[in-house]
Each structure stands twice: as structure tokens, then as C-alpha cells.
């Protein structure tokens, strides 16, 4: 594992020192220590940690909201050490808020490396899935725009589907634009034109 910059959230000094010692022995650097998760997203933006480690009794609502905000805006692997045994609903809520590894029996220094490795692997896998899903959604949206533009061109110019597609391609090549962007422009122009014709 490469040396990582770590942000720690824990209000108990003894636990913090034990964790810092364990991280230091692994060659990692603690860039920030917070006593709670308020302004977590802001601190992640400021310190750019590679991973966030939270140690507290149990994730309360404010903590879940802070983690969810961070995961939405500045996603990072999150390790959560819960000092209390929690029910499945609490664990599920933490994972939904962006936690990559949820450890229900508290912080154990000798397990830090394995847990961090697991958290990073889970985070990377989920990030890949999210990226692929977003790309698929974008491609589907692009296809819908292109199909709509083709249909409007066919109706407006009295041409077939292939001719309409070739028209869009030629405009895209001439302008140096992407096909979905040209399709959106064509839809906007034809809608405006049809609006004028109806007046």
C-alpha cells in the first residue's frame, strides 16, 4: 500500500493517539484530526485526504448526513469503527452514506492495515460501478436526443432515417461538435421554427 494522507474523526484522545501510532508505523500521514463530523466535507476539500477514519460509539443522524454530503461532493473511502454493537439498519444506513468498511467491535490497531486495504478496494469497486452506470445513462440520454432530432428532421425535410442521420453527422463534423450536442441544437431550432410557423 502506498503512503496515505488520513483524516481522523474521534473525540477520545487515547484512541486518537493509538490510531496515529498505528498509522505512523504503516508510513501514513495524519493530515487532520476532528472531534466530530461537522463540516466534514469542508475539511476534506481543504486537506485532500486519501481516506477518512471515524471512531465513535455509533453513527447518529448528523454523522450520517455529513458522510453522505462528503460522499456526494468529495468521495473518499471511509472506515467507520463503531464502539457499540449496532443493528443491521444502522450499519446499512452508514454504508448508504458512503462508508466503505464498517467495523462493529471498535478500533484495533493491529487490524488497521487490513481494514484500510479492504475499504479502499470496496471504494474503488463501487466507484467503477458508479462511473459505468453514469456512462450508460449518458449514452442512453444521448441516443434519445439523436433519435428525436432524426425524427424531427425526417418530418421537416421529408427524408428517410439514414438521410436524417447523415445530415446530423455532417453538421457535427463541420462544426467540430459531438453528435448529441448537434442533435440538441437541431431540436431547439426546429422547435423554434415550428413555433413560428404555428403563429
Domains plus CATH for the chain?
Answer: 5-107 (3.40.50.2300), 135-198 (1.10.10.10)
Looking at residues 8-27, what average pLDDT do you find? 88
Looking at residues 68-89, what average pLDDT do you find? 87
pLDDT higher at 152 or 1: 152
Looking at residues 46-75, what average pLDDT do you find? 91
Cβ neighbors of 159 (< 8 A, separation 6 or more) are 153, 167
pLDDT at 41: 92
Single pTM value for the model: 0.66
pLDDT at 13: 86
pLDDT at 199: 47
- 196 pLDDT higher than 70: no
Amino acid at each position: 500500500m502506498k503512503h496515505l494522507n488520513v483524516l481522523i474523526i474521534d473525540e477520545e484522545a487515547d484512541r486518537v493517539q493509538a490510531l496515529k501510532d498505528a498509522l505512523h508505523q504503516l508510513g501514513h500521514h495524519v493530515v487532520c484530526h476532528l472531534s466530530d463530523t461537522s463540516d466534514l466535507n469542508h475539511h476534506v476539500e481543504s486537506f485532500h485526504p486519501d481516506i477518512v477514519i471515524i471512531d465513535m460509539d455509533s453513527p447518529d443522524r448528523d454523522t450520517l448526513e455529513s458522510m453522505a454530503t462528503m460522499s456526494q461532493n468529495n468521495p473518499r473511502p471511509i472506515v467507520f469503527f463503531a464502539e457499540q454493537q449496532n443493528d443491521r439498519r444502522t450499519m446499512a444506513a452508514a454504508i448508504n452514506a458512503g462508508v466503505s468498511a464498517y467495523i462493529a467491535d471498535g478500533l484495533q490497531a493491529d487490524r488497521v492495515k487490513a481494514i484500510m486495504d479492504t475499504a479502499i478496494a470496496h471504494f474503488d469497486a463501487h466507484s467503477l460501478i458508479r462511473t459505468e452506470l453514469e456512462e450508460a445513462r449518458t449514452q442512453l440520454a444521448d441516443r434519445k436526443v439523436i433519435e428525436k432530432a432524426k425524427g424531427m428532421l425526417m418530418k421537416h425535410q421529408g427524408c428517410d432515417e439514414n438521410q436524417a442521420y447523415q445530415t446530423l453527422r455532417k453538421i457535427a463534423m463541420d462544426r467540430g461538435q459531438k453528435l448529441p450536442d448537434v442533435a440538441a441544437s437541431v431540436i431547439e431550432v426546429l422547435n423554434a421554427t415550428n413555433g413560428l410557423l404555428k403563429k
